[in-house]
């Protein structure tokens, strides 16, 4: 983040005192962006062993060949994503690729399953640094996966209830001493930091989607600490719901994660195929073939995982992805209608003044009423005070107090018809001031905080709900502080 310093005589134009933003290098990029991928090494081999154990000893003997096949798939993905980095250096990953080459609807599928591309975070030359970090990540992951598979076969490990495969492997290699606990503690820290990675990536993605009118714009509003709080809160609630629904069982959540990742990879590769077909630069045939092969592999992986794990929870992702796409399309359509009403981008007609009446709802003769009428008289000369006669109220006592006060403002008494304040006031405005701009001044006591906020009657909220439907009415809230 770079501070923006206003121009001043002490600061030459074109220069600022903003601190220089240092980009990521390959080592710092790996440390900051690859923790979630590294963490998969702690539960990936266990998922392999759990599946192969169903076939007995023969199945467990295939741990290394299956791992080698997974590493080969990883290599294809790394090579493919290096091309995504080069073609889209401004970031966005699968969402950016799909948005440009596959259309808006497909990009919303990609956004629903995206692992964001953080190329803009790297220092120059950022494309080359990001590509090197991608390759380094692939080499590290492949080496660790193959090494763990070799050790699993060497020690003949198998699933044990209540003990992870990584724990068994560590105990077999290091014993149950100090080294064992160091590895376990490091694994816990890695998983915790990897979980935190999502809180940095997903809120940024929701901000991008909000800027594209696919999510409510409040997702693009950051706090003073530059945190997209609504994205963070949404992620926290969703993660808690998944964790509770899965009963804390990791193996029930891994297929959901895998399917979402492979869908995003498939869309990115398909988009890159179209990218190379359209651009046809140097070596485009080889690049198109690589991305096409990657798309076939990830499509097969997504379909197989969905079919095998459908009854074990994968059905949820099959329902959630289309539901998210549908919801984001509805949001986009709503913003399109709002934009049409606003006539955004067009030059509007010249503003002009219109006859304005200022209306002040008065519930009692008090200091609060004086503040409200004073504010109204400051806004215009045509001021009307209205009082809604509610059931059980002494209208005579109110009028007597008003006449004794005599504020030199016209008073109108409104009969209550539905036991509310908003209904009679809105009806009075429509029937008596058609074609005029109406300003309603609502005075209310602002409690100091805490439980005191439940004490007021909140009649002002009821009044505003009625008046907000009137496009020619402006509601002004005057809050009087309580010492």
Average pLDDT, the chain: 82
Identify the band that residue 3 occupies on the pLDDT scale cut at 50, 70 and 90: very low
C-alpha triplet 256, 196, 321: angle, nearest 5°: 30
Q: Which long-range contacts (CB under 8 A, 24 or more apart) does 461-464 make?
A: 462/420, 462/421, 462/422, 463/361, 463/421, 463/422, 463/425, 464/422
Per-residue pLDDT at 197 exceeds 90: no
Dihedral class, residue 213 (left if φ above 0, else alpha if ψ from -120 to 50, else beta):
left
Does residue 110 contact residue 98 with C-beta atoms inside 8 Å? yes
Angle between helices 126-154 and 35-52 (to 10 degrees): 30
Task: Identify which of 23, 38, 30, 27 has the alpha carbon closest to the alpha carbon of residue 195.
Answer: 38
Q: Give dist(CA 298, CA 123) in Å, integer.
A: 31
Which three-class secondary structure state does DSSP give residue 22? coil
The answer to whether 258 and 305 are in contact (CB under 8 A) is yes
Cα 330 to Cα 25, 101, 103, 174, 317: the distances in Å are 40, 22, 16, 56, 20
**Residue 395: CB partners within 8 Å, gap ≥ 6?**
389, 413
The pLDDT tens digits of the residues spanning 313-323 come to 788 888 888 89
Residue 352 has pLDDT above 50, yes or no: yes
Q: What is the pLDDT of residues 68-83, one digit of tens each?
A: 998 998 888 888 888 8
Written as six digits, the tokens of 218 are 């409040």
Residue 198 DSSP class = H
Q: In whole angstroms, what is the distance from residue 62 CA to residue 439 CA?
A: 77
Round to whole Å and give the CA distance between 77 and 85. 12
The two most distant CA atoms of the chain are separated, in Å, by: 99
Least Cα distance to 271 among 88, 119, 71, 117 occurs for: 88
The answer to whether residue 421 scores a pLDDT higher than 70 is yes
Res. 18: pLDDT tops 70:
no
Distance between CA atoms of residues 372 and 442, nearest Å = 7
**If you ran DSSP here, which 8-state letter would residue 4 be given?**
-
Q: Is the pLDDT of residue 63 over 50?
A: yes
| Average pLDDT estimate for 392-411 | 89
Q: Which residue has the higher pLDDT, 411 or 257?
A: 411
pLDDT surpassing 70 at residue 236: yes
Of 29, 261, 46, nearest to 140 (Cα)? 29
For 245-303, write each residue's pLDDT tens digit.
888 777 778 778 888 888 888 888 898 899 889 888 888 899 899 889 989 998 998 89
Residue 9's pLDDT band (cuts 50, 70, 90):
very low
Spatial separation of the C-alpha atoms in residues 473 and 408, rounded to whole Å: 24
56: left (phi over 0), alpha (psi -120 to 50) or beta: left
CA dist 56 and 180 (Å) reads: 28
Query: Strand locations in 356-403, DSSP E?
Result: 356-361, 383-389
Cα 55 to the chain's mean position, in Å?
A: 42
42, two tokens: 């702690």
Report the pLDDT value the prediction gives residue 41, as an integer from 0 to 100: 83
User: pLDDT (tens digit, 9 = 90+) per residue, 144-186?
Assistant: 999 999 988 888 888 888 888 888 989 998 898 999 999 999 8
Closest by alpha carbon to 443, among 362, 358, 357?
Answer: 362
> How far is it, in rounded angstroms, from Cα 429 to Cα 384?
11
Per-residue pLDDT, 1: 28
Q: What pLDDT digit, counting tens, does each position of 363-391 carry? A: 889 888 999 999 999 988 899 999 988 87
Dist. CA 192–CA 439, nearest whole Å = 54
CB of 451 closer than 8 Å to CB of 445: no
Q: To the nearest 10°, report the CA torsion of 204, 208, 211, 214.
A: -110
Instruction: For residue 11, name the pLDDT band (cuts at 50, 70, 90).
Output: very low
Establish how many alpha carbons lie within 13 A of residue 442's alpha carbon, considering only the half-sphere containing its beta carbon: 19
pLDDT > 90: percent of the chain: 15
């Amino acid at each position: 983040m770079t501070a923006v310093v206003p121009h001043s005589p002490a600061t030459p134009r074109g220069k600022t005192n903003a601190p220089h933003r240092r980009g990521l290098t390959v080592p710092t990029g790996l440390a900051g962006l690859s923790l979630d991928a590294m963490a998969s090494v702690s539960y990936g081999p266990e998922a392999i062993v759990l599946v192969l154990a169903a076939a007995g000893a023969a199945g467990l003997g295939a741990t290394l060949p299956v791992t080698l096949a997974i590493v080969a798939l990883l290599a294809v993905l790394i090579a493919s994503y290096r091309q995504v980095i080069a073609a889209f250096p401004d970031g966005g990953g699968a969402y950016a690729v799909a948005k440009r080459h596959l259309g808006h609807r497909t990009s919303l599928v990609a956004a629903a399953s995206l692992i964001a591309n953080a190329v803009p975070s790297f220092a120059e030359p950022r494309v080359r640094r990001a590509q090197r970090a991608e390759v380094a990540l692939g080499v590290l992951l492949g080496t660790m996966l193959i090494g763990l598979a070799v050790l699993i076969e060497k020690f003949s490990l198998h699933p044990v209830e209540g003990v992870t495969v990584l724990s068994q492997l560590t105990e077999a290699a290091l014993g149950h001493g100090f080294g064992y606990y160091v590895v376990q503690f490091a694994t816990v820290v890695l998983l915790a930091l990897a979980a935190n990675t999502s809180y940095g990536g997903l809120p940024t993605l929701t901000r991008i989607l909000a800027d594209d009118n696919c999510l409510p714009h409040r997702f693009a509003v950051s706090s003073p600490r530059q945190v997209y709080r609504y994205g963070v809160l949404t992620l926290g609630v969703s993660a808690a719901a998944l964790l509770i629904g899965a009963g804390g069982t990791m193996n029930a959540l891994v297929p959901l994660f895998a399917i979402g990742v492979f869908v995003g990879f498939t869309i990115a590769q398909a988009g890159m195929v179209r990218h190379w077909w359209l651009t046809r630069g140097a070596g485009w045939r080889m690049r198109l073939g690589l991305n096409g092969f990657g798309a076939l592999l990830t499509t097969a992986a997504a379909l197989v995982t969905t079919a095998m794990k459908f009854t074990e929870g994968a059905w949820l992702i099959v329902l959630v992805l289309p539901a998210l796409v549908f919801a984001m399309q509805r949001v986009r359509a709503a913003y399109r209608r709002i934009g049409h009403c606003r006539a955004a981008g067009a030059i509007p007609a010249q503003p002009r003044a219109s006859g304005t009446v200022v209306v002040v709802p008065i519930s009692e003769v008090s200091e609060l009423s004086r503040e409200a009428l004073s504010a109204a008289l400051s806004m215009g000369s045509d001021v009307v005070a209205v009082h809604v006669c509610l059931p059980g109220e002494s209208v005579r006592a109110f009028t007597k107090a008003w006449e004794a006060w005599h504020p030199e403002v016209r008073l109108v008494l409104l009969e209550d018809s539905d036991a509310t304040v908003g209904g009679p006031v809105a009806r009075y405005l429509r029937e008596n001031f058609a074609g005029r701009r109406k300003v309603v001044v609502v005075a209310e006591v602002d409690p100091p905080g805490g439980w005191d906020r439940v004490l007021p009657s909140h009649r002002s909220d009821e009044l505003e709900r009625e008046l907000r439907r009137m496009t020619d009415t402006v509601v002004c809230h005057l809050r009087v502080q309580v010492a």
